[in-house]
Structures are given as C-alpha cells and as structure tokens.
C-alpha cells in the first residue's frame, strides 16, 4: 500500500466504521427512548402499516366498549327500577285483596284507597326517573328499542328492548285512576293486577337476558382489545433488555472506532520522518 498525504485509506475505512457504529447507536438510543423498535414507517414500512391498521381497530373497539358500557348502565338502572315496581305490585295486591272485604267501614276503606293510590304514584315516579344518560326504557319515551355498537365496523348491534311499565299500558294494565272505593272495584283491579304482575316479571326476565348478553359481549370486546394490543406490542415494542446489551456493546465499539480513526490519522506523519535528513 502506497503512502500518500492525499489519500489515507485506513482513515477512510475507520471513519466509515465509526459512522456506521454511530448510526446503530442512534437507533438503539431511539428504541430505548420510545420503547419501540418500529416507531415510524422509516423503520419498517410493512410492519408499521400492519400495526397502524391494528391500532385503528383497537380505537374502534374502544368506542364499542364505551357503547356497551352505556348499555350496561342503562340496563342496570332499568332492572333496579323494574324490580322496585314489581315489589310495589306485590304490595298493591295485599291492599287490593284487603279492599275486597265487604265488612270494611268507610274509614278503613278510605285508608286502604289512600295507600293504594300512593303506591301507584310511586310506580309512576320510579318509571319516570329510571333514566341513564337520557335513556329511559320504562316510561314509554323510547319507541321500540335502543341499539348499541357490537363490532368495530359498526355493522352489528346489540339491542335493549323497551319495557313500558307505565300505568294503564300493555304491561301494567292497572290504570293510574284506579280506586278501591268499593269491593266491586277492588275485584276488577285484582284481575288487572294479577296480569300485571305476570307481565312485569316477564318483561324483567327479557330485560335481564338482554343485559346478560350485553355484559358477556362487553367482556369479549375487552379481551379482544387486550389481545390486539398484545399483538401490536409483539410487532413494534422494543426488547429493552436486548437493547440495553446492544447499547453497551455499541458504546465500546464507538470508543474503539474513535481510537482506530485516531491511529489511522497519524499515518501521514510517517512521511515527515522520510525527509528529515534532506
């Protein structure tokens, strides 16, 4: 190899190696800083694109989970209110049967009628206040049913059917104007009340089945989201233990490369010794 002051091949090679080590060191430091081995499309376009698509699905599933959580809350409020209504209907039956006693005096019948009407008003208050986030399944304000998101494409839905527990409706047939002022009226109300109790229990059973389905699907969506997040992590997350080992190795290589470059840069100084006797 010729000696020249214009071209120092060993120094160029040492510089190339040092630059490559510095680049690798920068990548490792970036992996450690971000916790990601693939943070941008520049790192690996194909894997980054796959990860981004999965992140989009995860975001959509988060929206689905929010919708299902709202459905769960609406169902819970409705079930709680419905069970209270069912309990009141049971208590009403006691009052109605008592009012069928023909031996009651006017004062006793008036007291029974007062309690009966108070319970009817309480049913109205319960159904009127059984709302969550503006949705009330029990007072007839929502026609038909409410649909909630079931998948990330918003192409499938889970339904909560309304159960109108308003007085004088299709489920509770006892009218809000019902009265126990006579044993005859009490007998008529008892027929409606018995049917209403059966209807309310069936309505709550249907609502409970739908609520159970929503709860189960919500759990599934949560598990699916976790699985997708794990998959994305496997694609793009950095192994920090491995990166730590690489960092230490590259730091040593960097120091050795700098020393090698320094040694290579001293080679042209040999030329001066050739001309000292001149």
Per-residue model confidence (pLDDT) at position 5: 66
pLDDT > 90? residue 178: yes
Task: Compute the average pLDDT of residues 64-72.
Answer: 96
End-to-end CA distance of the chain: 24
Please report, for the chain, the start and end positions of each structural domain, with discontinuous segments joined by +.
Answer: 9-35+239-274, 64-236
Q: What does residue 44 show for φ and ψ, rounded to 5 degrees?
A: -165, 100
pTM of the model: 0.78
pLDDT > 70? residue 6: no
**One-letter-per-residue 3-state SS of 146-158:** EEEECCCCCCCEE
Of 125, 119, 209, the closest CA to residue 161 belongs to 209
Cα–Cα dist 100/201, whole Å: 25
Query: Which residue's entry shows tokens 């409410």?
Result: 146
Per CATH, the number for 64-236 is 1.20.1330.10
Helices (H), 100-162: 106-129
Cα–Cα dist 258/260, whole Å: 5
Contact 22, 261 (CB under 8 A): no
Please name every residue paired with 167 in a beta bridge, in sequence order, or none if there are none. 172
Higher-pLDDT residue of 15, 94: 94
Lowest mean pLDDT among 103-117, 149-163, 238-252: 238-252
pLDDT > 80? residue 268: no
For residue 142, give the DSSP letter. Answer: S
pLDDT > 70? residue 2: no
Cα–Cα dist 100/181, whole Å: 10
Per-residue model confidence (pLDDT) at position 3: 65
Per-residue model confidence (pLDDT) at position 58: 95
Task: Compute the average pLDDT of residues 92-106.
Answer: 92
Task: Compute the average pLDDT of residues 27-33.
Answer: 78
Rounded to 10°, the helix 240-265/9-34 angle is 160
Tokens of 245: 């080992």
Cα–Cα dist 2/274, whole Å: 14
- DSSP helix/strand/coil, 105: coil
How many whole angstroms from its chain centre is CA 130?
A: 24
Of 210, 231, 233, 219, the closest CA to residue 64 belongs to 219
């Amino acid at each position: 190899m010729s000696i020249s002051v214009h071209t120092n091949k060993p120094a160029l090679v040492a510089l190339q190696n040092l630059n490559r080590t510095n680049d690798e060191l920068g990548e490792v430091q970036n992996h450690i800083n971000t916790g990601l081995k693939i943070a941008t499309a520049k790192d690996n376009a194909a894997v980054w694109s796959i990860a981004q698509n999965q992140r989009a699905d995860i975001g959509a599933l988060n929206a689905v989970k929010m919708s299902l959580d709202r459905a769960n809350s609406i169902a819970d409020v409705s079930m709680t209110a419905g069970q209270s209504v069912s309990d009141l209907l049971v208590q009403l039956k006691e009052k109605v049967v008592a009012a069928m006693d023909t031996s009651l005096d006017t004062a006793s019948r008036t007291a029974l009628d007062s309690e009966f009407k108070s319970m009817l008003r309480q049913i109205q208050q319960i159904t009127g206040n059984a709302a969550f986030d503006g949705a009330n399944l029990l007072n007839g304000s929502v026609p038909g049913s409410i649909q909630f998101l079931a998948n990330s494409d918003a192409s499938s839905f889970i339904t909560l059917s309304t159960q109108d527990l308003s007085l004088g409706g299709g489920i509770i047939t006892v009218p809000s104007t019902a009265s126990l002022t006579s044993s005859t009226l009490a007998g008529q109300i008892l027929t409606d009340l018995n049917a209403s109790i059966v209807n309310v229990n069936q309505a709550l059973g249907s609502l409970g089945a739908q609520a159970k389905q929503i709860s189960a699907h919500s759990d599934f969506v949560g598990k699916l989201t976790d699985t997708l997040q794990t998959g994305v992590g496997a694609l793009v997350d950095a192994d920090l233990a491995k990166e730590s080992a690489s960092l230490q190795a590259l730091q040593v290589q960097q120091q050795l490369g700098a020393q090698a470059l320094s040694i290579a840069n001293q080679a042209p100084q040999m030329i001066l010794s050739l001309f000292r006797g001149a």
